[in-house]
Chains A and B, each alone.
Chain A
Amino acid sequence: MKHSVLHVALATVALFGAGTVAANAAWEPVRPVEFIVPAGTGGGADQMARTIQGIVTKHGLMKQPMVVINKSGGAGGEGFLDVKGSGNNPHKIIITLSNLFTTPLATGIPFNWKDMTPVAMLALDEFVLWVNAEKLYNTVKDFVDAVKQAPSGSMKMGGTGSKQEDQIITVAVEKATGAKFTYIPYKGGGEVAVQLVGNHVDSTVNNPIEAVAQWRGGKLRPLCVFDGKQMDYDEVIADGKGWKDIPTCKSQGLDMEYLMLRGIFMGPKATKDQVEYYIDLFKKVRATPEWQDFMKSGAFNTTFLTGADYAKWVETEEKRHETLMKEAGFLATAGN
Chain B
Amino acid sequence: MEELVNLFHGFAVALQPFNIMVMILGIVLGVIIGVLPGLGGANGVAILLPLTFSMPPTSAIIMLSCIYWGALFGGAITSILFNIPGEPWSVATTFDGYPMAQQGKAGEALTAAFTSSFVGALFAVVMITLVAPLVASFALRFGPAEKFAVYFLAFCSFVGLSKEPPFKTIAAMMIGFALAAVGLDSITGQLRLTFGSTELLNGFDFLIAVIGLFGIGEILLTMEEGLAFRGGKAKIDLRVVVQTWKQMPQYWITSLRSCLIGCWMGITPAGATPASFMSYGIAKRVSKHGHNFGKGEVEGVIAPETAAHAAGTAALLPMLSLGVPGSPTAAVLLGGLLIWGLQPGPMLFVEQKEFVWGLIASMYLGNLVGLIVVLTCVPVFAAILRVPFSIIAPLILVLCAIGAYSVHSSTFDVVMMLVFGVVGYLLKKCNYPLAPLVLAIVLGDKAEEAFRQSLLGSQGSLGVFFSNTLVGTIMVLGLVALFWSLIQQGYTRLRTAVA
Contacts and interface: CB of A to CB of B under 8 A. Distances in A.
B163 interface: no
Given A153-B459, A164-B189, A193 B140 contact: no
Contact of B202 (A42, A78, A161): A78
Contacts of A47: 335, 338-339
B332 A156 contact: no
B324 interface: yes
Interface stretch (B82-90, B249-257, B342-350, B397-405): B342-350
A7 interface: no
B308 to A, nearest CB: 20
Nearest to A193: B323
Contact of B53 (A58, A194, A212): A58
A214 B345 contact: yes
B472 interface: no
Given A50-B335, A297-B343, A182 B457 contact: yes
Nearest to A99: B189
Contact of B343 (A54, A183, A216): A216
Chain B CB within 10 A, most for which of A197, A213, A332: A213
Interface in A45-92: 46-47, 50-51, 53-54, 57-58, 65, 68-69, 71-75, 77-78, 81
Interface in B128-144: 139-144
Interface in A149-169: 153-154, 156, 161-164
Nearest to A183: B456
A197 B341 CA distance: 23
A81 B186 CA distance: 19
Interface in A209-262: 209, 212-214, 216-219
A198 B323 contact: no
A330 B347 CA distance: 39
Contact of B187 (A153, A185, A213): A185
A27 interface: no
A4 interface: no
B459 A216 contact: no
Overall SS of chain A's interface: mixed
A213 B346 contact: yes
A78 B54 CA distance: 32
Q: Which of the listed residues B190, B323, B409 has the most CB atoms from chain A within 10 Å of its own CB? A: B323
B331 interface: yes
Contact of B184 (A46, A74, A201, A218): A74
Contact of A213 (B42, B194, B331, B344): B344
B161 interface: no
A186 B143 CA distance: 11
Interface in A266-286: none
Contacts of B457: 156, 182, 184, 200-201
Contact of A162 (B143, B189, B347): B189
Interface string B334-364: 1110110101111110000000000000000
B189 A190 contact: no
Interface string B111-148: 00000000000000000000000000001111110000
Nearest to A332: B190
B49 interface: yes
B202 A74 contact: yes
Interface string B444-458: 000001000100110
Contacts of B477: none
B59 to A, nearest CB: 15
Contact of B345 (A109, A185, A216): A216
B453 A78 contact: no
Contacts of B347: 213, 216-217
A57 B51 CA distance: 9
Nearest to A103: B189
B343 A107 contact: no
Contacts of B344: 213
Q: On chain A, which size bracket covers the interface?
A: 35 or more
A187 interface: yes
B191 A74 contact: yes
B325 A200 contact: no
Contact of A51 (B198, B332, B339, B449): B339
A165 to B, nearest CB: 12
B25 interface: no
Most buried by B among A65, A184, A188, A191: A184
A336 interface: yes
Interface residues of B, number: 52
A195 interface: yes
Contacts of B325: 42, 190
A53 B50 contact: yes
A51 B201 contact: no
A106 interface: yes
Contacts of A154: 459
A41 interface: yes
B186 A57 contact: no
A59 to B, nearest CB: 10
Interface string B316-327: 000000111100
Given A50-B339, A191-B324, A41 B189 contact: no
Given A162-B189, A182-B457, A185-B187, A42 B335 contact: yes
Given A42-B332, A81-B198, A182-B456, A162 B323 contact: no
Given A182-B459, A216-B343, A187 B140 contact: no
Nearest to B344: A213
B335 A194 contact: no
A194 B322 contact: yes
Given A50-B49, A195-B143, A293 B341 contact: yes
Contacts of B144: 184, 200
B230 interface: no
Nearest to A57: B50
B248 interface: no
B141 A214 contact: no
B38 interface: no
B140 A198 contact: yes
Interface in A161-182: 161-164, 182
Contact of B409 (A54, A69, A162, A294): A69
A217 B459 contact: no
Interface string B79-122: 00000000000000000000000000000000000000000000
A54 B339 contact: yes
B44 to A, nearest CB: 12
Contacts of A197: 140, 322
B46 interface: yes
Nearest to B201: A74
30 contacts: A41-B335, A42-B332, A47-B338, A47-B339, A50-B46, A50-B335, A68-B46, A74-B191, A77-B198, A77-B201, A106-B189, A106-B190, A107-B191, A156-B456, A162-B186, A163-B188, A184-B456, A184-B457, A187-B449, A190-B323, A190-B325, A190-B334, A200-B144, A209-B338, A213-B345, A216-B346, A290-B339, A294-B338, A330-B189, A336-B190
Pick the 10 closest A-B CB pairs, nearest first: A213-B345, A73-B202, A217-B346, A200-B143, A42-B331, A74-B201, A162-B189, A163-B189, A73-B201, A198-B140
Given A216-B345, A293-B341, 8 more contacts: A51-B338, A73-B184, A81-B198, A106-B190, A109-B198, A163-B189, A190-B322, A216-B347
